[in-house]
Amino acid sequence: MSGPLLFLGGVLFVAIGIAVSIALHEVGHLVPAKLFKVRVTRYMIGFGPTVFSRKKGETEYGVKALPLGGYVQMIGMYPPNPEDGTMRASSTGMFQNLAQQASEEVGPEDGNRVFYKLPVWKKIVVMLGGPAMNIVLGILFTAILLMGFGSAQPTTTLSSVSACQVVQGEKEPAPGEKCTPAPAAAAGLKPGDRIVSFDGKPATDWNSLTEQIRQSAGRKVPVVIQRGDQTIDTTVTPVLTARPVTGTDGQPKKDASGKVVTQDVGFIGVGPRQALVPQGPETVLPAVGTQITQVSHVVLDLPARVIGVAKAAFSSEPRDPNGPISVVGVGRVAGEVSAMEEIPLEARIASLIGILAGLNFALAIFNLIPLPPLDGGHVAGALYEAVRRGIARIFRRPDPGPFDLAKLLPVTYTVAGLLLVMSVVLIYADIVKPVKLFG
């Protein structure tokens, strides 16, 4: 398959995954609402003109022209209008929420089937159903990724052999310039070689091999390598040099000033080839916790990060590869991953599944922000209602009734407007200055 077709295949794979994730997010709202007997009038995927719909029972199910979200419309999400007693329409969808402020008809049979009359705990269950569904999907994709494909682990097969010794922090000599050969190059090691043993001990994994190399500075050490069908005996003398100190996450540690922390250890100048190694079930939840933490930091710092993206988009500044991207950027990354024919197909599919896992965690965490029109805003409103009614009971005051979230419509419009602006900025940046993940 050619590069453009592979690129398109990756985009379609992730696009379908996003659509399914959004659809199941709304199912997470739909199912508990129906279980609690709330009348659900519409379940729609997308916004804008309806492309297809079919009514089953009292609910219309359909797909709209712009597949950028979805919504579930329930009767009576807001209490009746205090001025004329009419019901104000609303839904779980962000922008649909803004567009449906007209009154809705509620028949006599709907008296106890309106959302606002639900007990607080049921309201919370309905609104948390969407984010919960995305977290379940994220866990599922992570389990498939780790247990089915595996995580990338360094092996004892070499992916690179440095030609020259280079002091930490200095540039490598240009091709053709004289330099002191790195120990591995001097010993005749080449990319693709597999280190079988080092100093008479079997090289079973990269981490233990690295530790042996670091402790062998200045000594001539026997090494056995496998090159194709050949077994080659040679020797290598690690040099004592400053190398970065790595943390438990495998990343270089930095001091308070942001400078990489180093220590003098043995060094031969080789890099490992990565391979997917299937993991056990016990690795899934820790990986999920790590990913949720990383996504949470991005979401909580989203306004500042979007400002950084905007600055990069309208200047010569480079974009932060760890910053937020839009669905356009996600599609581009997915396409680039799929088109990298030098990477095994298995690894490319694993990367796409990892993208879907991250997207579901991001969708869940984003929707939990306690501001309307997001799901977290409805949850915050329900909790405020519980507190207000609890205080009334304690002081034996009249029940204040359900909290009218419509009072926060100015906040809703402001938040939705800001989110729309941020979305436009990210899409523009992903078009004119996309994130460079692969050089």
Instruction: Write down the pLDDT at residue 110.
Output: 67
Pick from 2-6, 136-140, 391-395, 399-403: least confident: 2-6
> Is 70 exceeded by the pLDDT of residue 148?
yes
CATH class of 153-277: mainly beta
The answer to whether 281 and 395 are in contact (CB under 8 A) is: no
Q: How confident is the model at residue 144 (pLDDT cuts 50, 70, 90)?
A: very high
* Segment (H or E) for 184: helix 183-186
pLDDT value of residue 420: 86
pLDDT at 315 over 70: yes
Question: What angle, rounded to 10 degrees, do the helices at 3-35 and 327-339 form?
Answer: 130
Q: In three state form, how does the secondary structure of 253-320 look?
A: CECCCCCECEEEEEECCEEEEEEEECCCHHHHHHHHHHHHHHHHHHHHCHHHHHHHHHHHHCCCCCCC
Q: 38-52, 90-104, 244-258, 311-325 — which is least confidently predicted?
A: 90-104
- Average pLDDT, integer, range 413-422: 86
Query: Is residue 63 within 8 Å of residue 45, measured between CB atoms?
Result: yes
Q: Where is 249: in which H helix or E strand? A: none
**pLDDT of the residue at 87:** 57
* Radius of gyration of the chain, Cα coordinates, nearest whole angstrom: 28
pLDDT digits (tens, 9 = 90+) for 381-398: 999 999 999 999 999 999
368-379 mean pLDDT? 91
The pLDDT tens digits for 178-197 are: 888 899 999 999 999 999 99
Residue found under tokens 């979805």: 70
Task: Show the tokens assigned to 48.
Answer: 């804008």
Q: Which one of the listed residues 26, 104, 336, 385 is annotated catalytic? A: 26
Q: Residues with Cβ < 8 Å from 369, sequence gap 6 or more? A: 299, 376, 377
Which of 374, 368, 354 is CA-nearest to residue 138? 354
Contact 377, 370 (CB under 8 A): yes
Give, to the nearest 10 degrees, the angle between helix 302-313 and helix 409-432.
Answer: 40
pLDDT at 95: 46
> What six digits make up the tokens of 154?
């360094």
**Triad 79, 61, 86: Cα angle to 5°:** 20
**Residue with the larger pLDDT of the pair 155 and 4:** 155
What's the number of CA atoms in the CB half-sphere (13 Å) around residue 319? 23
Query: In the prediction, which pLDDT does 249 show?
Result: 57
% of the chain surpassing 90 pLDDT: 51
For residue 303, report the phi and psi dihedrals to the nearest 5 degrees: -55, -45
Q: How confident is the model at residue 356, as a pLDDT?
A: 95
CB–CB of 380/403 below 8 Å? no
CA angle, 361 as apex, 419 and 35 as ends, to 5°?
A: 90
Q: Is 346 a catalytic residue?
A: no
Distance CA 140, CA 156 (A): 31
Query: Token digits for 25?
Result: 């997010």
> What local confidence, expressed as pLDDT, does residue 405 receive?
82
- Per DSSP, the three-state class of 381 is helix
pTM value is: 0.81
- pLDDT tens per residue across span 224-263: 999 999 999 999 999 988 777 776 655 677 777 767 777 8
Asked if residues 435 and 329 have their Cβ atoms less than 8 Å apart, the reply is yes
> Distance between CA atoms of 290 and 281, rounded to whole angstroms?
15
Region 156-163: mean pLDDT is 91
Q: Is 385 left (phi over 0), alpha (psi -120 to 50) or beta?
A: alpha
Percent of the chain with pLDDT over 70: 88
Q: Which of 98-102, 151-155, 159-163 has the lowest mean pLDDT?
A: 98-102
Bridge partner list, 194: 157, 226
Q: What is the pLDDT of residue 101?
A: 42
Summarised one tens digit per residue, pLDDT across range 54-108 is 999 999 999 988 777 888 988 888 877 666 555 555 566 654 444 344 445 566 6
Taking the C-alpha atoms of residue 3 and residue 339, their distance in angstroms, rounded to an integer, is 5
The residue-averaged pLDDT of 193-209 equals: 93
Kindly report the three-state secondary structure assignment for every residue of 119-152: CHHHHHHHHHHHHHHHHHHHHHHHHHHHHHHCEE
Q: For residue 98, what pLDDT is reported? A: 43
pLDDT of residue 106: 61
User: Domains of the chain: which residue ranges?
Assistant: 153-277
User: Tokens 């030098």 appear where?
Assistant: 342
Decide if 360 contacts 137 (C-beta within 8 A): yes
